[in-house]
Copies of this chain bind each other. A is one copy, B any other.
Amino acid sequence: MHTVVIVGAGFGGLQCARALAHRPVQVVLLDRNNYHLFTPLLYQVASSLLDPSDIAYPVRSVFRRVPNVRFRQAEVVGVDFDRRIVLTAAGPEESYDDLVLATGASINLFDQPDLEHSAYHITTLPNALELRNRVLACFEAAAVERDEEARRPWLTFVIVGAGPTGVEYSGALAELVRLIAGRDYPTIPRDSVRIILLEGGDRVLPPFRASLGHHARRRLEALGVEVRTASLVESVTDRRVVLRDAEVIAARTLVWAAGVKPNTLETGANLPRVPSGRIEVDRYLRVSGVHAVFAIGDAAGSVESGRELPMLSAPAMQQGRRVARNILRELRGDPPVPFRYQDRGIMATIGRHAAVAQVGAVSFRGLAGWIVWLVVHLYFIIGFRNRITVLIGWAWNYVFYDRPIRFVLSAAHRKANSE
């Protein structure tokens, strides 16, 4: 049977596989993790509001009753485009008739070794958990540090990048601090904790219209976040952050939320790329120069009206469905349909019950924005059980203003034995 191999079970890859379910093709879905991650809520795991299982869902469960979709947890290490074979780090290779690259993006540290050494981020479940543990560990360290000057860096958190992730995490962190400083940590007054949000550009939430950016900034400041625009990081150590203008911030925790870059896949062949590093595709999302290969989502440099599509879940999902339909059309002998992005808007939440949302010409902010945000996110979270538990968690948080998930979970390290 015609075999479609999809690399990556993020929003794009998962939608593509779903659109091919129960159709006359064999689908092989590969991902290095065995779960699909609802990344828009990752900052809530990082700020002790949600559990990992609230936003992660086993891919195999999604396709349990779908005989023509086979999932496999595997690290893809290369593609042989001539032999039409996908190579994996362990286990057999996979042959394809059509290949969909949905390999996503990861944190962009701009090749700065000091960032690689010191920065925390919010791009994967393990690193979100690591950041969650880190913040609590800083509070524990500060609680026993009697020297004021040595204590301050433990309680200073610098977030770099005021895009949606940086804004959402700053707001959530400010509320976590409000909850624990002076309460769980009676010797740490709230105002001894500093949260500094740095943005290189001239305003908060650059992809949103200016009025919403201003609103978000005011909300963050009301939560106690120091927002600084036109502020660039020069260097970072474990103890301090040095800004381009030579100011030194004594801080032990830096969260890097200043952008992601597309994951590259070693293929031997040099796939054509747009300047941002994403794979160049035509309007059918086909990769130029190779046969029967598509790229979607963050991996694909899809251009519309002269602008690259943003790295968001919405275009990835739409592209996944488009590619799936075009593969089926081609099998039937029908011509493919070009991809066209339906922009349904963008949104970001700021703290417990405020958000900004921009849907076409309409803006929402404050509580109205938050309700729009809540409905949309609950709707999209995969899996009914998850939706219920997430809702309960939020309701609990909203009513009782408590976050019971604040424990430091260190990981056991096992060297051998896993193969």
Contacts and interface: CB of A to CB of B under 8 A. Distances in A.
Given A92-B144, A92-B146, A392-B389, A408 B184 contact: no
A56 interface: yes
A412 B145 contact: no
A182 to B, nearest CB: 10
A342 interface: no
Interface in A76-95: 90-92
Interface string A377-414: 00000010110110010001000001011111111111
Interface in A81-119: 90-92, 117-118
A187 to B, nearest CB: 8
A367 interface: no
Contacts of A270: none
B53 A404 contact: yes
Interface stretch (A58-66, A223-231, A333-341): A58-66
A292 interface: no
B385 A126 contact: no
Interface stretch (A134-142, A165-173, A242-250, A295-303): A134-142
B64 A408 contact: no
Of A67, A180, A417, the most chain B CB neighbours within 10 A belong to A417
Interface string A114-137: 000110000011110110001011
A250 B184 CA distance: 50
A409 B52 contact: yes
Nearest to A386: B404
Contacts of A388: 392
A130 B412 contact: yes
Nearest to A91: B144
A33 interface: yes
24 contacts: A33-B410, A34-B407, A51-B51, A51-B53, A52-B409, A57-B404, A57-B407, A58-B184, A61-B404, A61-B406, A64-B184, A72-B140, A72-B143, A72-B144, A73-B140, A73-B408, A90-B144, A92-B144, A117-B416, A129-B412, A130-B411, A141-B419, A385-B396, A392-B392
Given A57-B407, A389-B389, 8 more contacts: A58-B184, A58-B407, A60-B184, A129-B409, A129-B411, A383-B404, A385-B396, A388-B392
9 tightest Cβ-Cβ pairs between the two chains A and B? A411-B411, A35-B407, A91-B144, A60-B184, A126-B412, A73-B140, A53-B405, A130-B412, A58-B406
